Amino acid sequence: MDISKPHAALLSSLGMGHLIPVVELGKRLVTHHNFNVTIFAVTSPMSPAESNVIQSCMSPKLFDIVQLPPIDISSLVDANSTIVTRLSVMMREAQPAIRSAISSWNPQPTLLIVDLFGTESLPIADELDMPKYVYVASNAWFLALTIRVPFLDKEVEGEIGSEIPKSDGILLNTWVDLLPTSLAALRDDDLLGRVIKSNPVYPIGPLTRTVSTSDGPMFDWLDMQPSELVIYVSFGSGGTLSYEQMTEIAWGLELSQQRFIWVVRQPFIGAVDAVFSRRATPPVMIH
């Protein structure tokens, strides 16, 4: 490791929806800004998908990935707790391992970047005298909602949204031309700027993952559609819906007669295929 370069420690929460954006940020820091990067990832021992993402980063190896031990929270939360609550508790309980891993790294990182569910680890940066940033891998609307509106459970929202202003800055996966009004509101002390205490918001996007060639037909179809008239539907890795909810969404999309791309995973593929079986030209679904 070239010790003359800045060394960024990136903390990824559990789940593909958090690991992949952090990995892409790490790639950008290495290839575009000449950083050394170490990613500290809280992962699940039962997730082959997470393992595949980590293995894909090894060739070529751009940075180090440290997998932190999985956390058992079965005695701390109810079995019916929401995914947001479980993730927040897991990241809180992982703090000793996070602190130990980052502080023992040699050479010690020069700054800490955490994702949305890692904000309770920001004090670790203060302990180690490092600048600290929050990486929000979504857009300015989401950031504004997170810091302003209690849209999550009161306990979880307090743990997440209120921690963001304690950082030295916010990295946002968007760009000025896409959401100029929202970004201006986040910087205006008379609006959302006072909520985040005028911490700088850096629009660093778009950060996107390289698409595999297997998705070619979908993009061929998308290129043939009218501009800005295709709906993208995806509930993320934590967006588990019931069979009935998936069926209702399928019927809603069908009856809307709108063009769309919908990310659908097992075990719901058969259900939604049945809804669209009457179409001469089926919609595009990513299974």
In the block, residue with structure tokens 């809804």: 275
Mean pLDDT of the chain: 81
Whole-number pLDDT of residue 199:
80
> Among this protein's residues, is 177 annotated catalytic?
no
Same-domain check for residues 196 and 222: no
Query: What is the structure's pLDDT at 276?
Result: 64
* 42 is a domain residue: yes
**Which residue of the set 7, 32, 115, 223 is catalytic?**
115
- Residue 93: the pLDDT is 92
Greater model confidence, 38 or 239 = 38
Co-location of 236 and 183 in the same domain:
no
Q: Tell me, what's the pLDDT at 130? A: 94
Q: Is 153 a catalytic residue?
A: no
Of 174, 203, 232, the one marking the end of a domain is: 203
Contacts of 173 (CB under 8 A, 6+ apart): 21, 135, 136, 137, 138, 139, 204, 205, 206, 207
**156 pLDDT more than 70:** no
Question: Is 118 part of a structural domain of the chain?
Answer: yes
Mark whether 79 and 109 lie in a shared domain: yes
Higher pLDDT, 142 or 161: 142
Q: What is the model's pLDDT at position 126? A: 94
Q: Which of 2, 7, 18, 190 is catalytic?
A: 18
CATH number at residue 40: 3.40.50.2000
**Domain boundary pick from 203, 236, 260:** 203
Provide the pLDDT for residue 99.
94
Sign of the dihedral through C-alpha 203, 175, 211, 263? positive
Centre a 10 Å sphere on the Cβ of residue 265 and count the other Cβ atoms it contains: 12
- At residue 151, the pLDDT reads 42
Please indicate, yes or no, whether residues 269 and 148 belong to a single structural domain of this protein: no
Measured from the Cβ of residue 72, the count of other Cβ atoms closer than 10 Å reads 9
Better-scored residue on pLDDT, 84 or 64: 64
Same domain, 136 and 256: no
| 208 lies in some domain | no
Listed residues 181, 203, 225: the one ending a domain: 203
pLDDT category of residue 28 using cuts at 50, 70 and 90? very high
In percent, how much of the chain has pLDDT > 70? 81
pLDDT band at 155 (very low <50, low <70, confident <90, very high): very low
Query: Residue with structure tokens 């789940």?
Result: 15
Which residue matches tokens 């079965």? 74
Look at residue 241 and tell me whether its pLDDT is greater than 80.
no
Tell whether the model's pLDDT for residue 77 goes beyond 60: yes
Residue 102's pLDDT is 93
* Least confident stretch, 47-56, 146-155, 156-165: 146-155
Say yes or no: 126 and 246 in one domain: no
The stretch 117-126 carries a mean pLDDT of 94
Tell me which residue of 88, 94, 99, 97 sits closest to 160, measured CA to CA.
Answer: 88
Instruction: Answer whether residue 159 is part of any domain.
Output: yes
- Residue 157 burial by CB count (10 A; 0-12/13-18/19+): exposed, middle or buried? middle
Domain count, the chain: 2
What's residue 285's pLDDT? 57
Rounded Cα gap, residues 51 and 240, in angstroms: 21
pLDDT given at position 1: 67
Q: Say whether both 239 and 185 belong to one domain.
A: no
Encoding tokens for residue 66? 């440290």
Residue 275: domain span: 214-286
User: What span, in angstroms and rounded, lies between the C-alpha atoms of 124 and 133?
Assistant: 12
Closest CA to 100 of 146, 68, 137: 68
- Give pLDDT tens digits for 82-109: 788 888 899 999 999 999 999 998 888 9
Question: Are residue 86 and residue 54 in the same domain, yes or no?
Answer: yes
**Structural domain contains residue 47:** yes
Average pLDDT over residues 122-133: 95
User: Is 1 inside any structural domain?
Assistant: no
Same domain? 31 vs 165: yes
What's the pLDDT at 275?
62
Give the model confidence (pLDDT) of 201-227 as tens digits: 999 998 887 765 555 677 788 888 888
Q: How far is CA 261 from CA 81, 197, 229, in A?
A: 30, 38, 11
- 68 plus 139 within the same structural domain: yes
Same domain, 142 and 265: no
Residue with tokens 């986040």: 186
pLDDT value at position 114? 96
Say if residue 230 is in the same domain as residue 197: no
- On whether residue 209 sits in a domain, the answer given is no
